[in-house]
């Protein structure tokens, strides 16, 4: 087959799978807790800075993973405790509060690292011959890791005890509490998982993009589009949203231009908000 | 030049916040008596937004020029006072600040280091009432009344570097990729002329939305299949970094040369050593430009701000020449009268970070440097001495 078409096809898979993993943290927090976390992009940024810190400390790249889990976990715990807990069931208030949080986190990053760009070396540089074309190894690896994370989380949520407790909490918090489920701890845990997933997304993407305090803005918007189109509260929603947003953007960018690709994403998001506000997979 | 990237949701909220801030500063009508004799320069630099990574350097370089001029007696005996003002947001916000600076602060001169969209908005707002010096790197053609340009022009920046790329490096087909706004489009228009002159051809011309969260896998794949000899890049800031990292990630850096028109020290740090092979840049200033003046400028800069000073680069160092241009212009004109300034501008000579320049037709002739990237540092491989701006405006 024409290597151009093959490469663009892999680009499409890459776009969809990375988008799914970047939107995953937001999907957990927004979809399960109803908290619109505008600071999602900033947790991605923190993950990326963790990757940079790991590199400048001359540690192996994978050391960024535990570092990010600690930093984003502790931050997520503190934020949930101080800011989110009093605001559950007040979606607009959480939106404003987390918007303030995003400004604060960006300023903290600026105070520590400055406004300059940092680059993180690609842990696995070079390209590999794959399906009749040369494709960067690291991007292929990202596709695999993204799929493993998303599918792993979906299976765990569907099959584990904690998963069923979370579902109980969402459908009826009072009844869940009466059943002896600590709703408060469970909600905090869910929030922390969301921020850690965002951080992991940042670690994964850091070698491919400029690391700077504003980088989160790029991803939070796309992650929201994914949830708007796909619908909240289910894995099918997340995946279909990522497939539509990432797919349309990638296909139109490949066949026409990046401007048309972005235009198509915006039009599609507006159409969904207008005609099908609950997304492709509407949650009951 | 410039980078501006804000989510639409934030923009509206930021607009409201900015309006609130503007109200907050309204009661500035009572001014201290001692300030009456100061010479006020409204300095438009990026204090917010992603372009604000240039802000500290812009401010520091303008401060250095101000200190030097004030030590030597100021402008016609008046001490300069800089009023740094944000030009990193949407142009409409910057023009509001310009009106405030003219009405409330009575600024004597404007100096601006920001993108071309903002420049066009500012020219329409200032309307020649106050002399306005524009400094960074631009697409040419600015001849508005009472406006003075020290920026690198296409004739200075693109013609020599692109001609070198085609004649000396043997590049025949050029792929153009840029952000979608006035600077890249007009630069590419000029570049097409130079490519035709050298007998080359344009492989393709492509733009990505300015301020959108761009990714470049699809663009790079298209470039790979077009097989050009070189890519002319008019992307700015994070887009420039992102593109170059993706380009090298796909292994295209080995065979295809890249010439970027807004690649300075900060951006190169982002591109990183693993992605900067076969990447070229052309500007009138680099931190390690091989001129005596550039070395002295850097020494003075480090002496004033220490080792932790903001990273030097063309975007920032341009503010140094901007303040000097304003000072020299007003001193020669004997004041800020627009007609007198217009007449006085012809032939003034003033210092820049890389040596003295002379103004002709409200633009400057200058020496340009061509650099290739050695890791995250520039290596000057060629000097183009005393290049005419090619944009001289007629006397009004």
pLDDT digits (tens, 9 = 90+) for B306-323: 988 999 999 999 999 999
How many domains does the structure of chain A reveal?
A: 1
Residue B393 within any structural domain of the chain: no
What residues of A are in contact with residue B273 (Cβ under 8 Å)? 119, 121
Q: Do residues B146 and B254 share a domain?
A: no
Given a contact cutoff of 8 angstroms between Cβ atoms, the answer to whether A150 and A212 are in contact is no
For this complex, say whether ipTM is above 0.95: no
How many Cβ contacts (< 8 angstroms) between chains A and B? 133
Domain that holds residue B223: 154-283
Q: What residues have CB less than 8 Å from B323, skipping those under 6 apart?
A: B41, B43, B62, B65, B66, B69, B80, B82, B111
B225 close to A (CB below 8 A): yes
Please tell me the number of Cα atoms within 13 Å of A232 on its side-chain side: 17
What residues of B are in contact with residue A211 (Cβ under 8 Å)? 270
User: pLDDT tens digit string along B91-140?
Assistant: 999 999 999 999 999 999 999 999 999 999 999 999 999 999 999 999 99
In 3D, which of A192, A199, A176 has the Cα closest to residue A43? Answer: A199
Q: Do residues B46 and B145 share a domain?
A: yes
pLDDT at B9 over 80: no
What pLDDT is recorded for position A1?
67
Q: Do residues B176 and B104 share a domain?
A: no
| CA atoms of B52 and B87, how far apart (whole Å) | 9
pLDDT at B246 over 90: yes
Question: Residue B392 gets which letter from DSSP?
Answer: P
Given a contact cutoff of 8 angstroms between Cβ atoms, the answer to whether B130 and B148 are in contact is no
Domain that holds residue A101: 24-215
Residue B64 within any structural domain of the chain: yes
In 3D, which of B53, B38, B39 has the Cα closest to residue B316? Answer: B53
A222 close to B (CB below 8 A): yes
Q: Do residues B146 and B43 share a domain?
A: yes
A257 close to B (CB below 8 A): yes
How many domains does the structure of chain B reveal?
A: 2
pLDDT at B28 over 50: no
Considering only alpha carbons, which residue of chain A is nearest residue B238?
A: A210
pLDDT of chain A, 284 residues: tens digit per residue: 688 889 999 999 999 999 999 999 999 998 888 888 999 999 999 999 999 999 999 999 999 999 999 999 999 999 999 999 998 888 889 999 999 999 999 999 999 998 889 999 999 888 888 887 889 999 999 999 999 999 999 898 888 888 888 888 888 888 988 888 888 899 999 999 999 999 999 999 999 999 999 899 889 988 999 998 998 878 888 999 999 999 999 999 888 888 899 999 999 999 998 998 888 887 64
Domain boundary among B253, B283, B313: B283
* Surface-to-core class of residue B44, CB atoms within 10 Å of its CB (0-12 exposed, 13-18 middle, 19+ buried): buried
- Higher pLDDT: A113 or B10? It is A113
Can you tell me the mean pLDDT for B168-193?
A: 94
Residue B338 within any structural domain of the chain: yes
- Across the interface, whether the CB atoms of B6 and A8 are under 8 A apart is answered no
* C-alpha distance from A99 to closest chain B C-alpha (Å): 9
What residues of B are in contact with residue A4 (Cβ under 8 Å)? 221-222, 224-225
What pLDDT is recorded for position B20?
44
Least confident of A51-55, A166-170, B228-232, B361-365: A166-170
Residue A116 within any structural domain of the chain: yes
What pLDDT is recorded for position B109?
96
In 3D, which of B110, B153, B146, B148 has the Cα closest to residue B396? Answer: B146
Q: Do residues B209 and B262 share a domain?
A: yes
Residue A133 within any structural domain of the chain: yes
Determine how β-strand B355-360 pairs with β-strand B363-374: antiparallel
pLDDT at B396 over 70: no
Given a contact cutoff of 8 angstroms between Cβ atoms, the answer to whether B46 and B56 are in contact is no
pTM for the full model?
A: 0.88
Residue A221 within any structural domain of the chain: no
A119 close to B (CB below 8 A): yes
What pLDDT is recorded for position B5?
43
Residue A96 within any structural domain of the chain: yes
Domain boundary among B237, B265, B283: B283
**Three-class secondary structure of residue B85 per DSSP:** strand
CATH of the domain at B357: 3.40.50.2300
| CA atoms of A26 and A141, how far apart (whole Å) | 23
Residue A44 within any structural domain of the chain: yes
Q: Do residues B297 and B252 share a domain?
A: no
């Amino acid at each position: 087959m024409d290597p151009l078409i093959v490469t663009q096809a892999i680009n499409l898979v890459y776009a969809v799978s990375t988008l799914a993993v970047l939107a995953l943290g937001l999907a957990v927090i927004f979809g399960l807790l109803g908290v619109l976390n505008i600071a999602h992009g900033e947790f991605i940024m923190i993950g990326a800075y963790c990757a940079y810190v790991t590199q400048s400390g001359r540690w192996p790249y994978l050391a960024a993973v535990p570092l990010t889990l600690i930093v984003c976990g502790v931050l997520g715990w503190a934020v949930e405790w101080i800011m989110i807990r009093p605001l559950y069931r007040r979606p607009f208030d959480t939106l404003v509060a987390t918007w303030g949080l995003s400004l604060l986190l960006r300023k903290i990053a600026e105070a520590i690292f400055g406004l300059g760009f940092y680059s993180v070396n690609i842990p696995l540089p070079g390209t590999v011959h794959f399906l009749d074309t040369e494709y960067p190894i690291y991007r292929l690896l990202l596709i695999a890791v993204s799929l493993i994370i998303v599918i792993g989380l979906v299976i765990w949520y569907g099959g584990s005890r904690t998963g069923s407790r979370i579902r109980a909490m969402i459908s009826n918090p009072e009844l869940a509490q009466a059943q002896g489920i600590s709703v408060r701890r469970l909600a905090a845990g869910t929030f922390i998982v969301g921020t850690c997933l965002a951080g992991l997304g940042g670690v994964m993407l850091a070698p491919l993009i400029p690391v700077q305090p504003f980088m989160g803005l790029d991803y939070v918007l796309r992650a929201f589009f994914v949830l708007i189109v796909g619908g909240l509260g289910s894995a099918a929603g997340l995946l279909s949203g990522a497939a539509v947003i990432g797919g349309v953007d990638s296909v139109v960018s490949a066949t026409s231009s990046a401007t048309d690709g972005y235009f198509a994403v915006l039009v599609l998001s507006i159409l969904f908000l207008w005609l099908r506000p609950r997304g492709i997979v509407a949650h009951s | 030049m410039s980078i501006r990237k804000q989510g639409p949701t934030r923009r509206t909220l930021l607009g409201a916040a900015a309006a609130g801030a503007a109200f907050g500063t309204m009661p500035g009508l009572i001014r201290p008596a001692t300030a009456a004799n100061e010479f006020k320069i409204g300095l438009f630099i990026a204090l917010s937004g992603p372009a604000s990574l240039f802000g500290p350097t812009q401010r520091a370089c303008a401060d250095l020029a101000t200190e030097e001029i004030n030590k030597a007696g100021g402008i016609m005996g008046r001490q300069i006072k800089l009023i740094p003002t944000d030009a990193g947001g949407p142009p409409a916000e910057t023009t509001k600040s310009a009106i405030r600076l003219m009405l409330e602060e009575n600024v004597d001169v404007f100096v601006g280091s920001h993108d071309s969209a903002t420049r066009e908005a500012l020219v329409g707002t200032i309307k020649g009432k106050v002399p306005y010096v524009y400094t960074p790197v631009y697409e040419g053609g600015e001849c508005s009344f009472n406006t003075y340009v020290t920026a690198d022009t296409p004739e200075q920046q693109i013609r020599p570097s692109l001609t070198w790329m085609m004649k000396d490096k043997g590049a025949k087909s050029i792929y153009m990729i840029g952000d979608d706004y006035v600077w890249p489009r007009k630069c590419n228009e000029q570049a097409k002329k130079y490519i035709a002159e050298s007998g080359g051809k344009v492989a393709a011309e492509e733009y990505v939305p300015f301020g959108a969260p761009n990714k470049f896998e699809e663009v790079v794949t298209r470039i790979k299949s077009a097989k050009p000899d070189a890519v002319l890049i008019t992307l700015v800031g994070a887009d420039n970094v992102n593109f170059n990292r993706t380009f090298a990630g796909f292994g295209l850096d080995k065979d295809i040369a890249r010439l970027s028109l807004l690649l300075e020290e900060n951006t190169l740090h982002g591109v990183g050593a693993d992605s900067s092979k076969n990447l070229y840049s052309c500007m009138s200033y680099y931190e390690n430009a091989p001129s005596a003046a550039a070395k002295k400028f850097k020494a003075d800069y480090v002496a004033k701000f220490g080792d932790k000073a903001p990273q030097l680069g063309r975007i920032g160092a341009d503010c140094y020449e901007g303040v000097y241009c304003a000072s020299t212009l007003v001193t020669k004109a004997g004041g800020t009268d627009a007609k007198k300034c217009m007449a006085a501008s012809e032939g003034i000579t003033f210092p820049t970070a890389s040596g003295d320049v002379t103004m002709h037709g409200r633009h400057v002739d200058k020496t340009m440097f061509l650099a290739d990237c050695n890791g995250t540092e520039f290596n000057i491989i060629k000097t183009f001495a005393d290049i005419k701006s090619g944009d001289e405006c007629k006397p009004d």
